[in-house]
Structure 1
């Protein structure tokens, strides 16, 4: 299997929504179509919906019902215009990409659907499902983090290998994985869209799940921005006594704009969370790192 280093390179060869020019040309030919496609490890067929099973490696767990209804209406009017991607498995077919079209086709009452059949291994199936969803840019942060964790857990990949596969930086993968340490209630708020990815990453810096949930409630009720939340989290991490910490959680803590600006500039520079903590005229700068490799990366920037 060739190594994929980004979403741009080779993406059209991975997802049916963007078939490669070579395959599109082949599909349009009338003579020798099947033999030629098979030579490239792919074959275009009309497959009964009853013979298709959901991909167990599908990273997406939530689908927008309104958008799915719109797609169903479109399919009822004009049919499925772009084939889904399948692989043969134990005499049946397993979805690799195109689950929304498959679900909408079933809702529309179709009996079959156009599909490109490919010979794909488990790891390739999972990679392609992830890349298709990342390409759509609407995979929620928790499903994205779970997908990265499964690549590491089930296929023994390192954070660096995952980063190379999906075209992200290694720190971005590390920050995404940190979201899995949030409480289940906070994760649900993220999945439902009540909390942004920025809020989620900030809350992930707190180990106490009860504090995470209290701050999540404040974000929703008070409309706290990510910058305001970062200031509160910084105060909590720096608080020594219970009363001081509780005041930071429940109170209205606002850090000076100058400090926030420094934090933002340094966070972008080091591609990680940076906190500026002041005490009177003195203070300190806290730079977070995910592991020893990340620390070495930050050190190289300082050099």
Structure 2
């Protein structure tokens, strides 16, 4: 997929240009000199030959890079393209004293191995751990390579390990602060539901509806129902809202049948005494109230006089 135009490209360039410093400036000068020399040597070349070719066996992926899942079919397609045209964009790596660790370009490296290449073009950079994470994250976001959970985990790592604030992360990846916040909220889901998002069984819209449910097992059960019944996001919102309302409503305590019979008998006795309808309402906590009905002012006066005489 072609890289998106806009702020992300600028963000990646700024990381490579502004943060690397003298090493990068020196390398840039070298690249310019090599390019000029090659242009003079031949007019038939349409692409610039990479600075360095390294044995593919000396290149290893970064275990901490945000992207964990690679589409096998996509890798095979890229491998076929590499067989025909080679690797058009060098891998960005850093020297780890014995091997080269990939900063950006792991997908190209994997496809190159499938294509049977013995060497790959690389550009060597010396970057800090934070710069490596930022570049890996930005490159993957540019190419829409990360699934929503991988993206959220990368944002969390920038916060926890490098103490970046959400607005700082948003600026680096050219997203809104709200988008970063909503992304990280997905990590509140259970591991099972997160995997369903990764597997595209449910959308991020569905997943966000489930965040308000604290019980992880219930989250998973509803997620399975979303998948099985092909519920829309709106239908999922209604379902979750209903479940939360039922949760907040305390269950009614069933009345004791023995007590109910006793109260009914007492109500009948009082009816005979007062000469009007009497009801005893039993509450869940064994408290209650007595209702004595009257149908005229005269009858009310009679009931008052009767109660006063009992005293």
TM norm. shorter chain > 0.5: yes
- Choose from 66, 72, 91 the match for 2:79: 72
Structure 2 residue ranges without an equivalent (≥5): 1-5, 17-27, 41-49, 253-311
| CA deviation vs aligned residue, 1:89-140 (integer Å, no higher than 9, x gap) | 2242110111110001111111110111122111111100000001112311
Structure 1 residue 104 corresponds to structure 2 residue 105:
no
| CA deviation vs aligned residue, 1:231-289 (integer Å, no higher than 9, x gap) | 22222233323779xxxxxxxxxxxxxxxxxxxxxxxxxxxxxxxxxxxxxxxxxxxxx
**Partner residue of 2:122?**
115
**Partner residue of 1:185?**
192
* Alpha-carbon distance in structure 1 between the residues aligned to 2:105 and 2:137: 11
1:242–1:183 Cα change, 3 Å = farther
Structure 1 residue ranges without an equivalent (≥5): 16-20, 34-42, 245-303
Task: Give the TM-score normalised by structure 1.
Answer: 0.67
1:14–1:105 Cα change, 3 Å = farther
Structure 1 residue 209 corresponds to structure 2 residue 210:
no
Q: Conserved in 2, the CA contact under 8 Å of 1:6 and 1:168?
A: no
Q: Conserved in 1, the CA contact under 8 Å of 2:31 and 2:51?
A: no
* Alpha-carbon distance in structure 2 between the residues aligned to 1:87 and 1:188: 32
- Choose from 49, 52, 57 the match for 2:56: 49
Q: Root-mean-square deviation (CA), in Å?
A: 2.9
* Alpha-carbon distance in structure 2 between the residues aligned to 1:210 and 1:242: 21
| CA deviation vs aligned residue, 1:17-63 (integer Å, no higher than 9, x gap) | xxxx9998666322699xxxxxxxxx821111111121133101100
* Alpha-carbon distance in structure 2 between the residues aligned to 1:231 and 1:23: 61
**Partner residue of 1:233?**
240
CA drift at 1:183: 1.1
CA radius of gyration, larger in? 2
Number of corresponding residues: 226
* Alpha-carbon distance in structure 2 between the residues aligned to 1:14 and 1:68: 27
Task: Give the TM-score normalised by structure 2.
Answer: 0.66
Q: After TM superposition, list the pairs within 5 Å mapping 1:1-303 onto structure 2.
A: 6-12=7-13, 28-30=35-37, 44-239=51-246, 240-241=248-249
